[in-house]
Structures are given as structure tokens and as C-alpha cells.
């Protein structure tokens, strides 16, 4: 049976070295929805760049596309980091 709910967009952000942990976050959100969504009237809608970003051909950097399509529209951001947490910034420094 249907029910009314507030849907909150939850972006799961992380580098590639924590794929298992990213999966666990999404699974936990789905379990929370199963247990609490109907009673609380709140649904947490997980999104991840690899599943929910549509490719564009407008010349923007990949991170800009992710930011536009997911980050700017999320209500909650969950960041998961481990050893590669600074790899993006190190690459920027090497190119300057």
C-alpha cells in the first residue's frame, strides 16, 4: 500500500579504494528505509556517481558534472575515505 513521504536525496561520495564500504553505506540506507520509512514518512534515496550520473559532452571536467547532477541536489552527503582521500589534490599539485 502506498504512503506519503518526504524523500531526501543522499549522496554517497568516495574515492575508488572504498567500494566495499560504499556498498555497505547504501545497503544500510536501504535497510533503514525498510524499517522506518513508512512509520516516519521519510525515505532516504541513495545516489552514487557510478550509478546516477549521466554522461555529458559539454567539455566539463567529470567532477563538475558530478557536482551539477548530484552534489548540488543532495540533501545529505555521506563521505567515505581511506588511503586515496588526497589523490585528487595531489594530482592537481603535480600538474601546477
> Contact 73/7 with Cβ under 8 angstroms?
no
> pTM for the whole thing?
0.75
Query: Phi/psi at 11 (nearest 5 deg)?
Result: -95, 130
Cα 31 → chain centroid? 17
Query: Which tens digits make up the pLDDT trace of 9-50?
Result: 999 988 878 889 989 999 999 999 999 999 999 999 998 877
Domain boundaries in the chain?
6-94
Amino acid at each position: 500500500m502506498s504512503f506519503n513521504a518526504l524523500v531526501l536525496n543522499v549522496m554517497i561520495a568516495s574515492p575508488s579504494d572504498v567500494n566495499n564500504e560504499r556498498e555497505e553505506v547504501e545497503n544500510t540506507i536501504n535497510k533503514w528505509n525498510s524499517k522506518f520509512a513508512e512509520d516516519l514518512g521519510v525515505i532516504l534515496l541513495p545516489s552514487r556517481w557510478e550509478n546516477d550520473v549521466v554522461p555529458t559532452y559539454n567539455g566539463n571536467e567529470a567532477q563538475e558534472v558530478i557536482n551539477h547532477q548530484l552534489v548540488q541536489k543532495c540533501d545529505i552527503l555521506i563521505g567515505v575515505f581511506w588511503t586515496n582521500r588526497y589523490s585528487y589534490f595531489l594530482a592537481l599539485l603535480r600538474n601546477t
